[in-house]
Amino acid sequence: MRKQFEMAKVILTAGLFVTSAFSVMAQSAPPVPAPPPAQLGALAPSNIAKPRPKPAFDITGTWLHAFSRDNPFTFSPPAGFKLTPEAQVHYDAAKKARAEGKAYHDDIGQCWPAGLPLIMTRVWPIAMIQKPTAIYMVSGFMNSVRIIYLDGRPHTDPDVIIPSFNGESIGHWDGDSLVVDTVGFVDDHHWLDSGIPLSDKTHMVERMRLLGDGATLEIEYTISDPKSWAGEWKWTKRWKRVDDTDITEASCLPDLNAHMPSVTSKSVNVR
């Protein structure tokens, strides 16, 4: 009996010691930093109501890329371009495929999102809605959604941002232009042009202006991707306002694709 009493004393003493040790540790641990204030959503009425300088223009409308010889829908590399060795492999393979009348990694045809910048120059119109806090773009092609935040928020922490094909766009007004900075892209199945991959290191800056009484949208593109090429590549593209149409629902579906020779032919599509 005495032996059992001694054993209980030992256990109790050890328990008290451990408890007090944890207590000391808890008191000496650095304080947990307070979480940053939550970012108000772009459609929160209290965010929209905040006082802001008058924007240079209202892009709200339906827009269609104004395809012509001097305004192609493609983003071809500039003269004298230099690719990284990794990208050069894709480029050479695409060139070989083209010479054989084949398509190289036609991911868009296989229902992968076009992503920026190609989503902007498809032959389906884009609905654009501007609020003081953001511009919402919905493409008539696959209903791809793009949001350009105008409420002063910074880019999301790179460790938190969710990679996407359209990336994360933050815009600010600069004179008559809207300057849009986009990062946060996916690292695969995303192409600038045939055989030129875009990666998670893609950085895109767009300078948007409205011309001709608001009938024309002009965007100057500056795109870099150190995983694929050296330096910055630039293009200027134009869109026309189309007031006589709306976007519609569009889905890339297997049963529709089954009747599309360009995407079903295994002998044509090189992967």
Residue selected from 20, 152, 245, 271 as contacting other proteins according to rule CB under 8 A: 245
Q: Give the nearer residue to other proteins in terms of CB position, either 94 or 170.
A: 94
Does 249 participate in binding other proteins (rule CB under 8 A)? yes
Does 114 participate in binding other proteins (rule CB under 8 A)? yes
Does 127 participate in binding other proteins (rule CB under 8 A)? no
Does 215 participate in binding other proteins (rule CB under 8 A)? no
Concatenated DSSP letters for the chain? Answer: -HHHHHHHHHHHHHHHHHHHHHHHHHHHSPPPPPPPPPPPPTT-HHHHTS--PPPS----EEEEE--BTTB-SS-PPPTT--B-HHHHHHHHHHHHHHHTT-EE--TTTTT----TTGGGGSSS-EEEEE-SSEEEEEETTTT-EEEEE-SSPPPPPTTT---BSS-EEEEEEETTEEEEEEE-B-SSS-EEETTEE--TT-EEEEEEEEETTTTEEEEEEEEE-TTTBSSEEEEEEEEEE-TT---------HHHHTT-HHHH-TTTEE-
Q: Give the nearer residue to other proteins in terms of CB position, either 41 or 72.
A: 72
Does 122 participate in binding other proteins (rule CB under 8 A)? yes
Residues 19-78 that bind other proteins (CB under 8 A): 64, 67-69, 73
Binding residues for other proteins, total number by CB under 8 A: 42
Catalog residues that contact other proteins under the rule CB under 8 A.
Answer: 64, 67-69, 73, 97-98, 101-104, 106, 108-109, 114, 122-125, 140-142, 194, 240, 242, 245, 248-252, 256, 259-265, 267-269
